[in-house]
Amino acid sequence: MQKIQKLFVVFVLLFTSGFLLAQGAREDSSTQQIPKQQVKQVLAAHTQTYIPYGYIDEKGQSDGFEIAVLRAVDSLLPQYSFTFIGTSDDDLLIGIETGKYALGTKGAWVTEERKQKFLFPKHNIGASIIGLTYRNSDSQSIKDIDSFAKYSGKLVPIAPQSAQYAVIQAYNEEHPNQPIKLVPSESFIINDAYAWVLEGRYDAFLEIALSFQNNVLKEGAPYHNLASKLAYVPYRAIPTWPLFNKGQVALAEAYDQAIEQLQQDGTIARLSEQYFGEDIFRYIQE
């Protein structure tokens, strides 16, 4: 009888311990998993054809460097669930401003006008490399922006409200003894810029590296016939940013925290190599 009582006591203790362990496991799990009804749905808009930043692939899926970074951000934020929507530039910008979308990406640069309409986080998401398109025959004289300034500094006019204009302004402030000739122009078409350089009216055109690749270097590009006549040298990278709706302060802060982690663990550098074939961030000048 005494033996049976001892066995009963042991059984009760084991049962109680198991129950407490299970209960503790459920409590630990509940602190890590957010109830589905509390997860906030985030509509993230992006461009459809801006390869490799954001586009719709051949399977109809959202892809691109900025999309991949946002997916990595999403994986670190259990309180949010991102849905990616490819759309037009106009719908993206209007949609973010009106709250249709919580945020959007389009390889966007900071401008004063955009600061009035959108919330910018602390950390950029990517970068856009800009450089000089010039005559291939001048390759011995033009090696970088400094040698171009020394050679002539005759640059195709730039829209004064653009980030490129500000880049050259900053360069001239840093190099007052050898400035680049900065002429404002409201608009021109890219074909004009290439023609003006080739005919000697100007000696270089400040252009996004991706634009030069897509317009000149690629097989079947609209100006591929100029590939042997034009050359390109990168200068620096302008940071690109996700645009947040003004009311999405908490989301933008969560994004910043996630970006810091992704920078530290090498995820963003790896994605840059995957989509651009190089670390685009090394061209950013602080």
Q: Do the domain assignments include residue 54?
A: yes
pLDDT of residue 60: 95
Q: Give domain status of residue 1, yes or no.
A: no
Whether the pTM exceeds 0.85: the reply is no
Does 174 share its domain with 196? yes
The pLDDT of residue 162: 81
**pLDDT tens sequence across 145-162:** 999 999 999 999 998 888
Torsion-angle region of residue 220: left (phi > 0), alpha (psi -120 to 50) or beta? left
**What does the pLDDT look like over 212-227, one tens digit per residue?**
999 999 999 999 999 9
Number of other residues whose CB lies within 10 A of the CB of residue 140: 7
pLDDT of residue 12: 38
Whether residue 182 contacts residue 209, with contact meaning beta carbons closer than 8 Å, is answered with no
Same domain, 270 and 186: no
Q: Is residue 201 part of a domain?
A: yes
Provide the pLDDT for residue 24. Answer: 45
Domain identity same for 98 and 49: yes
- Predicted confidence at residue 92, as pLDDT, reads 98
Q: Is residue 2 part of a domain?
A: no
**pLDDT for 186:** 73
Q: Are residues 87 and 157 in the same domain?
A: no
State whether 259 and 215 are in the same domain: no
pLDDT at 37: 67
Residue ranges of the chain whose pLDDT lies below 70: 1-33, 36-37, 187-188, 286
Q: How far is CA 204 from CA 99, 134, 182, in A?
A: 41, 4, 12
Dihedral over alpha carbons 241, 246, 247, 252 (to 10 degrees): 20
CA nearest neighbour of 231 among 209, 249, 248, 251: 209
Same domain as 231, residue 141: yes
Q: Does some domain include residue 14?
A: no
The total domain count for the chain is 2
* 214 and 194 both lie in a single domain: yes
If asked whether residues 104 and 164 sit together in one domain, one would say no
Residue 19 resides in a domain: no
Q: Are residues 86 and 149 in the same domain?
A: no
Do residue 110 and residue 134 come from a single domain? no
Domain assignment present for residue 33? The answer is: no
In a domain, 11, yes or no: no
Task: Give the domain CATH number at 149.
Answer: 3.40.190.10
Pair 173, 101 in one domain: no
CA–CA gap between residue 152 and residue 170 (Å, rounded): 18
Measured distance between the N- and C-terminal CA atoms of the chain, rounded to whole angstroms: 83
Q: For residue 262, what are the domain limits?
A: 38-119+245-281
Q: Are residues 226 and 249 in the same domain?
A: no
